[in-house]
Structure 1
Amino acid sequence: MKILLQAATIYSPQSQHHLQKRNILVQDGIITYIGSETQEADETIATEGLCVSAGWVDMYAFVGEPGLEYKEDLYTIAAAAAAGGFTEVVCLPNVEPVVQTKGAVNYVRSMSQQLPVSLLPAAAITVDAHGKDLTEMIDLHQAGAVAFTDGTKPLQGADVLLKALQYVQLFDGLLMNKPEHTRLTEHGQMHEGEASTRLGMKGIPSLAEEVMVTRDLQLLAYTGGRMHFSLLSTAAAIEAVRRAKAEGLHVTCDVASYQAAFTDEDITPFDTNYKVAPPFRSETDVAAIKQGLQDGTIDALVSAHLPHDTEAKRLEFDLADFGIINLETSFAVANTSLKDVLTTEQLVEKFASGPRQVLRLPEPLITEGEVANLTLFNPNIAWTPTEAATKSKSKNSPFLGQELKGRVIGTIHKGQVVLNQSF
């Protein structure tokens, strides 16, 4: 089948056509022509403002399968990811049972072969993600785990982290950790500040993130290896990573694409769809996130997609689970909240090149003769996500019914074309 992308602006620094408007012909999953001439095709995608880049990669998403399919399964997460422009998604290991065996890694990889999205399994660092005994990481790496993380469970023990950093150096593996001192965040509901005091809710202090980042960086300096921080949210934590990079440590980090969309002062009080971990922080923290994205301290933007069923969210605020869905809105939310900070080229880099560099995945080239791994989007279209149109099984999002700017048109990956219905 021949697919023609007509007059598409190409965002691909490795391509000779970077930032140029070209016609792109994809035949049976291969890019066969890039140029200004019109080509015959079975289907033509032609829309004003069409842009194309290498397929986007999400480094932090909850799948649900096996064991928690009522929240999300492999098929619905693939549909949501493709609708959001992602062609590859790193799946957290926090399912039932935890992804900690070769069989579990192989299950995710094999099940995703026929899907339009490549699901990349991350394996647990510790058995059952309990933070105590290390998993068989060498075996898991050989089976195809792209990284090691306890996912939504922050690793607490310094001794365990130290051993894990030493262990993954045997195969140059990547350790990912969500920095949070859980004793300091216990019973916390939102960012600790004036807003939490005014609302009478126990706060989650910035210190809980910052002390763990400092500790982890000290351990990294001691052991060596590669370390990635997931979901940073505070100014001091970002500054610590900036200094560590300048000192030559092999450290990278990401932030949730929604983290700059709100501060603790402008979330809707007691609406559990604004309850995320780490929480929406202060204006100072949001400014630091923007600066970190600009200067390259922050390597990637992630969806932090964490679906929950109605029973887990439609509760009193202090009883509801943390997390929101964001695969479908990840780009639009970032494009809307960061429009005064990042150019479209810089924003795409945080979704496409940045994650691949962290994970050491090959960069898809937009060149004739290459396999098509493409995201199609328009950064200028305004749209409103709705519950009815959401591909995810869960509907826990503060962005439903809110106008956003920047729309994914579709993806081309594994020879499969997925287009959002409005296009």
Structure 2
Amino acid sequence: MKILLEAVRIYNPESEYHLQQQNILVENGIIRYIGHEKPEADRVLAMDGLCVSAGWVDMFAFTGEPGLEHKEDLESLAASAAAGGFTEVVCLPNVQPVVQTKGAVSYLRSRSAQLSVILHPAAAITVDTQGKDLTEMIDLQQAGAVAFTDGTKPLQGADVLIKALQYLQLFDGLLMNRPEHTRLTEYGQMHEGQASTRLGMKGIPALAEEVMVTRDLQLLAYTGGRLHFSLLSTAGAIEAVRKAKAEGLQVTCDVASYQVAFTDETIMPFDTNYKVSPPFRSNEDADAIRLGLQDGTIDALVSAHMPHDTEAKKLEFDLADFGITNLETAFAVANTSLAGTLSVEVLVDKFSSSPRRILKLALPRLAVGEPANLTLFNPGMKWVPAPESSRSKSVNSPFFGQELSGKVIGIINKGQVVLNHTF
């Protein structure tokens, strides 16, 4: 099938057409023409404000398969990802059983082979993500693991982190860690501040993140290697990464695309759809995130997609699980909450090129003869997400019913076209 993308603005620094408005013809998954002419096509996609970029990559998403398919399975994850503009997703190892064997890595790769979205397995650093014994990371990397992380379980032992960083240097592997001192966050429900005191909730202090970032950076300086921090949320942590980069350490980081959408003062009290980890923090922390995105300290934006069934969320606040669904709204939430902070060009880079550089994935190029790995989006289009239109199996999101700016129109990937909009 021939698909013509008419008068689309291109966001792809690897392409000679970057920031230009062109017509693009895609035939059977291959880019056949880029220019101002309008070749014949079976289908024409055209709208005011339509943009295209290399397909987006999400570095932090949870899928329940295997073991927790009632929360999300690979088909629903891929459908949600495609609706959110992601053509590639890194899946966390926190399933049942944990992704820590060559068979588990191969299972994810083979199960997703026919899907429109490429699902990359991230393998566990430690056996059963218990933070003790290292997994066979060389075998896992050879089987196809793109990174190593204990996912939602932060590494606590300094000795384990040192050994993992040293081990991964054998093949230039990437260690991803969510920095949190779990003894300092035990029983915590929201950001520790005036709001938590006023609401009578146990707070999650910024110190719990910052002390672990400082420790991990000291260990990185000692061992060498490549370290990536997932889901930073505090001003102190971002400043520590900024200094470490200036000193030449191989460190990168990301934040959840929703992290500045709310603060601890603006969340709906006791509504579990606002219960995330790390929590929505202070205005000062939000400002630090904006600055970190602007100056490049923060390399990437992620969905932090954490689907939960009703039984895990419709509970008292202190009993409910942390996390929200965000694959379908990741771009729109960032585009809305970061308006005036990041240009569309930079925002797209945080979702596309930058994650690929961190993961050492090939950078798609919008050029004739290249495979089409594309995201179509309209940064100015307003829309309101609703649970009944969600592709996810779970509907734990604070963004349902809120008007957002920036709509993903669809993706073209692996020869498949998935659209959210009727042309």
TM-score band, normalised by shorter chain: over 0.9
Residue 15 (structure 1) shift: 1.3
Is the aligned partner of 1:192 residue 2:192? yes
TM-score (ref. length: structure 1): 1.00
Query: Which residue in 2 is equivalent to 1:415?
Result: 415
Residue 13 (structure 1) shift: 1.2
SS in 2 for 1:388: helix
**Alpha-carbon distance in structure 1 between the residues aligned to 2:422 and 2:365:** 27
Alpha carbons 2:252, 2:299 under 8 Å: kept: yes
Is the aligned partner of 1:123 residue 2:123? yes
Residue 215 (structure 1) shift: 0.4
Aligned letter for 1:4? L
- Paired residues for 1:178-257 under 5 Å: 178-257=178-257
Aligned letter for 1:374? L
SS in 2 for 1:240: helix
Residue 148 (structure 1) shift: 0.2
**Alpha-carbon distance in structure 2 between the residues aligned to 1:18 and 1:121:** 31
**Alpha-carbon distance in structure 2 between the residues aligned to 1:167 and 1:394:** 37
**Alpha-carbon distance in structure 2 between the residues aligned to 1:279 and 1:45:** 40
Residue 65 (structure 1) shift: 0.3
Query: Which residue in 2 is equivalent to 1:339?
Result: 339
User: What is the CA deviation profile of residues 226-245 of structure 1, one whole-angstrom value per residue up to 9, with x for unaligned ones?
Assistant: 00000000000000000000
**Alpha-carbon distance in structure 1 between the residues aligned to 2:308 and 2:143:** 29
Identity %: 77
Query: Which residue in 1 is equivalent to 2:108?
Result: 108
Alpha carbons 2:89, 2:120 under 8 Å: kept: yes
Residue 398 (structure 1) shift: 0.1
Query: Which residue in 2 is equivalent to 1:163?
Result: 163
**Alpha-carbon distance in structure 2 between the residues aligned to 1:193 and 1:259:** 17
Residue 421 (structure 1) shift: 4.0
**Alpha-carbon distance in structure 1 between the residues aligned to 2:265 and 2:355:** 31
SS in 2 for 1:89: strand
SS in 2 for 1:273: helix
**Alpha-carbon distance in structure 1 between the residues aligned to 2:156 and 2:335:** 34
Query: Which residue in 2 is equivalent to 1:320?
Result: 320
Query: Which residue in 1 is equivalent to 2:393?
Result: 393
**Alpha-carbon distance in structure 1 between the residues aligned to 2:46 and 2:111:** 33
Query: Which residue in 2 is equivalent to 1:79?
Result: 79
Residue 39 (structure 1) shift: 1.1
SS in 1 for 2:387: coil
SS in 2 for 1:53: strand
Aligned letter for 1:189? Q
Aligned letter for 1:108? L
Query: Which residue in 1 is equivalent to 2:381?
Result: 381
* 1:64/1:223 CA distance change after superposition, 3 Å: same
SS in 1 for 2:394: coil
Query: Which residue in 2 is equivalent to 1:276?
Result: 276
The number of equivalent residue pairs is 423
User: What is the CA deviation profile of residues 344-375 of structure 1, one whole-angstrom value per residue up to 9, with x for unaligned ones?
Assistant: 00100000011001101110000011000000
Query: Which residue in 2 is equivalent to 1:362?
Result: 362
Residue 77 (structure 1) shift: 0.2
User: What is the CA deviation profile of residues 380-406 of structure 1, one whole-angstrom value per residue up to 9, with x for unaligned ones?
Assistant: 000000000000000000001110000
Query: Which residue in 1 is equivalent to 2:311?
Result: 311
Query: Which residue in 2 is equivalent to 1:258?
Result: 258
User: What is the CA deviation profile of residues 70-90 of structure 1, one whole-angstrom value per residue up to 9, with x for unaligned ones?
Assistant: 000000000000000000000
Unpaired stretches in structure 1, ≥5 consecutive residues: none
User: What is the CA deviation profile of residues 7-35 of structure 1, one whole-angstrom value per residue up to 9, with x for unaligned ones?
Assistant: 00000112111111100000010000000
**Alpha-carbon distance in structure 1 between the residues aligned to 2:160 and 2:335:** 38
Query: Which residue in 2 is equivalent to 1:174?
Result: 174
Query: Which residue in 2 is equivalent to 1:65?
Result: 65
Alpha carbons 2:154, 2:177 under 8 Å: kept: yes
- Aligned-pair Cα RMSD in Å: 0.5
User: What is the CA deviation profile of residues 300-321 of structure 1, one whole-angstrom value per residue up to 9, with x for unaligned ones?
Assistant: 0000000000000000000000
Unpaired stretches in structure 2, ≥5 consecutive residues: none
Query: Which residue in 2 is equivalent to 1:52?
Result: 52
Aligned letter for 2:127? V
**Alpha-carbon distance in structure 2 between the residues aligned to 1:310 and 1:19:** 43
Residue 3 (structure 1) shift: 0.4
Aligned letter for 2:132? K
Aligned letter for 1:38? K
Alpha carbons 2:410, 2:421 under 8 Å: kept: no
TM-score (ref. length: structure 2): 1.00
Residue 422 (structure 1) shift: 4.5
**Alpha-carbon distance in structure 2 between the residues aligned to 1:2 and 1:315:** 50
- Paired residues for 1:4-19 under 5 Å: 4-19=4-19
**Alpha-carbon distance in structure 2 between the residues aligned to 1:314 and 1:85:** 29
Query: Which residue in 2 is equivalent to 1:151?
Result: 151
**Alpha-carbon distance in structure 1 between the residues aligned to 2:318 and 2:270:** 9
**Alpha-carbon distance in structure 2 between the residues aligned to 1:43 and 1:16:** 25
Aligned letter for 1:342? L
Aligned letter for 2:371? V
Alpha carbons 2:70, 2:309 under 8 Å: kept: yes
